[in-house]
Amino acid sequence: MKKLLSALVVGVCGCFTVLSAGEMLFELPMEEQEISKNDKFKTASLDEVDGIKCMHLKAGGFHLPVDVKDWAGRKVKVTYVVKYKGIVPDENKPGSTGMRGTLMIKSSDGKIIYPGKKPLTGDCDQWTQYSYMVTIPENAVEGKFLLSIPGGDIWFKSLTIEAQD
């Protein structure tokens, strides 16, 4: 298996993140057709920010299918690089928490897990990297990267899933 190169870096907006070079399993497609095809809530678009093509998501949600069956039993790292503005919990929905970015994984026994990071709130005008680790269940049959945002704007510079084993 490919050895990983890791370096600890200090992110902006108060984040500490570990960067690694692992086998790339998935990368967010930055193509209008791919974004539109998966945007059932019609809240996503492609924008250019700081000269970089990125996905812009407004209040609503975005579900991006991810084929996790081939990754069964593997430990993966989900990473996204974002800027965001005006993200606040929805006061009309008790328990609303801000922007959630999670890899939903459904297993053949019907169990569903939603691993992810603490929801993002507020503003961050610098590109900031967030990541988390998850082991894909041996009996995984379906996966989706779910993004939900009760209000505000978020720009995704990248969204990747890398093997860590």
pLDDT recorded at residue 12: 31
pLDDT recorded at residue 83: 95
- For residue 106, being part of any structural domain is answered with yes
pLDDT of 50-98, one tens digit each? 999 999 998 888 888 899 998 999 999 999 999 999 998 766 665 567 7
How many distinct structural domains can be found in the chain? Answer: 1
Q: How many CB atoms lie within 10 A of CB 73?
A: 11
Contact between 152 and 99 (Cβ < 8 Å): yes
- For residue 137, being part of any structural domain is answered with yes
Residue 110 gets which letter from DSSP? S
Note the pTM of the prediction, 2 decimals. 0.80
- For residue 1, being part of any structural domain is answered with no
pLDDT recorded at residue 90: 67
Q: What string of pLDDT tens digits covers the 165 residues of the chain?
A: 333 322 222 233 333 333 445 899 889 888 888 888 888 788 899 999 999 999 999 888 888 889 999 899 999 999 999 999 999 876 666 556 778 888 999 999 999 999 987 788 899 999 999 999 999 999 999 999 888 888 899 999 999 999 998
Domain range for 115 is 6-163
The CA-based angle 14-17-19, given to 5 degrees, is 150
Q: CA dist 95 to 23, 90, 91, 145, Å?
A: 36, 8, 9, 21
Residue 118 gets which letter from DSSP? P
Q: What CA–CA distance (Å, rounded) separates 143 from 134? A: 13
CATH number, domain containing residue 36 = 2.60.120.260
- For residue 37, being part of any structural domain is answered with yes
